[in-house]
Amino acid sequence: MTRPRILSLADLKPQDMAQQLQNDYEVVRDIAAAADVEAVVTAGNVGLSSQQMRQLPALRLIAVNGVGVDAVDLDEAARRGIAVTTTPDVLSLAVAEMALALALAAGRQIAEGDRFVRAGDWGRGGKLGLASSVLERRAGILGYGRIGRRLADMLRGLGMQVSYTARREKSDTPDRFFPDALSLAGDCELLFVTAAGGSETRNLVDADVLAALGPQGIVVNVARGPVVNAVALADALRSGAIAGAGLDVFDDEPNVPQALLDAPNCVLTPHIGSATVQARRAMAQLVLDNLSAHFAGKPLLTPYEV
């Protein structure tokens, strides 16, 4: 039996899941050789532009190995009746765990302490200053979707007081609602960014929000780089307007602005929020299941509804 041809712009992980894709499909990697393909596999941070879609006249399905659709031209997909699927829920724990890890790393001098020990400063009698407790802070979550809510559950479980802002107040949560980022930041010292990317959330965390967070404040971003204004963030770290940051996402990955590389108490990771074996395996399985459903003419498992 001939295997359907698909275009893959992003590798599935772990290796056995990538192998499964190879077994089930003829996997093309060059878009110039994919004019006949009905399905494309892409990553959340890779997406598919309208220009790429124009090179794919037979396209019927965009299977995103991730939850972010900000890099997919959804208008063009809708206009052409191309379905989009994502991998919701299965990565929420991993990304929430990463957010907590970054908060602890920035707040408890983990990266700085590691550099201090390796540089021999401890051995030479040096001392790190005292940190301010992370779990005794009030936490604010900007973006209260699946990942934000998973994180809220985690933080509450650790005894933290949690507030959030989202487009609408939710009735089914004990967490306190604030109508916007500014009022949320004014009430917390640990601000987690878990909002979807795209034009609606660009620069939501700006100089005013950082000033409201205050000199004890820590910002953690596991969502999309542009939600936090990188220039304002680097300035706030340098001037002491906030105390620290933990960043897993950036405007122009894999390039990280020099101002953030140079900023004090800024912990940086290379977009690895969902990069656990468990999450990536479950994500890959959903991609495979959505592809199978499409080629079998069955309903998609996790269609992205605009």
Q: Is 294 a catalytic residue?
A: no
Please say which residue, 163 or 221, places its beta carbon nearer to ligand 8YV: 221
Three-class SS state of 125? coil
CB of 206 to ligand 8YV, least distance (A): 22
Report the Cα–Cα distance between both ends of the chain, in Å, rounded: 35
**3-state class of 287 per DSSP?**
helix
6: phi then psi, degrees, rounded to nearest 5:
-130, 160
Nearer to ligand 8YV, 9 or 83 (CB): 9
Q: Least CB distance from residue 283 to ligand 8YV, whole Å?
A: 7
Catalytic residue among 137, 149, 150, 271: 271
Q: Which residue number, 66 or 246, has a Cβ lying nearer to ligand 8YV?
A: 66
Cα angle, residue 5 at apex, residues 25 and 50 outer, rounded to 5°? 125
Give the interface with ligand 8YV as residue ranges (CB under 6 A): 10, 43-45, 65-68, 91, 271, 274
- Is 76 annotated in the active site? no
Q: Residue 106: CA atoms inside 13 Å, Cβ hemisphere, count?
A: 30
Catalytic annotation present for 271: yes
* Cis peptide bond N-terminal to 299, omega within 30: no
**In angstroms, what is the minimal distance from the CB of 13 to ligand 8YV?**
8
> Given the complex with ligand 8YV, which of 15 and 133 has the nearer CB atom?
15
State the minimum distance, in angstroms, from the CB of residue 95 to ligand 8YV: 7
* Residue among 5, 60, 138, 253 flagged as catalytic: 253
**Per the residue annotation, which of 137, 224, 280, 294 is the catalytic one?**
224
Helix (H, G, I), strand (E, B) or coil at 247: strand
Strands 5-8 and 26-28, sheet pairing: parallel
Neighbours of 216 (CB within 10 A): 13
Active site residues: 224, 253, 271
